[in-house]
Amino acid sequence: MVEVLGRYSNHARAANAVIELLDGASRGEIRLPRLETPSVNKTLERSGRLSKARIDELVERHQAGGSARALAVEFGVHRDSIRALLKRRGLASRAPQMIVLDEEQSAAVRAGFDRLGSVRATARHLGHSERVVARTLDSLRRQ
């Protein structure tokens, strides 16, 4: 069992706890070891991915308007980790803002789509996301 845990698991603390439990049981002692579950903040610091200074910088960038997705890319962690960290700090995660194009930009999307023939090509050409281009074209069709 120990060999299996050691070979197929990255959870060294859990494996050590099981070994400790088995050793205690063989001596007639039944004591459940306490497993620690570190907080997100401590996990990020321990993993070496973000230092305390980088976490403080991340919080400042969020307060200055940075989205969780952009911060996740910039700091190299998952956006859910960013959201959890912000939640622990008492900061609400902001919903992404919907981009709405004005009439001139909408006309450029329509012309680009007519010329290029696809949402993807139009989005790349105009520098918008495919979602914005598709939503704009749907809006224009409904008018």
Q: Quote the CA–CA distance of 63 and 53 in Å, as a whole number.
A: 15
Q: Quote the CA–CA distance of 102 and 112 in Å, as a whole number.
A: 15
Nearest CA-CA partner of 85 in 55, 122, 52, 51:
55
109 contacts 122 by C-beta, under 8 angstroms: yes
Q: Quote the CA–CA distance of 115 and 64 in Å, as a whole number.
A: 39
Stretches where the chain sits below pLDDT 70 are: 1-14, 30-49, 95-96
Task: Kindly report the pTM of this predicted structure.
Answer: 0.39
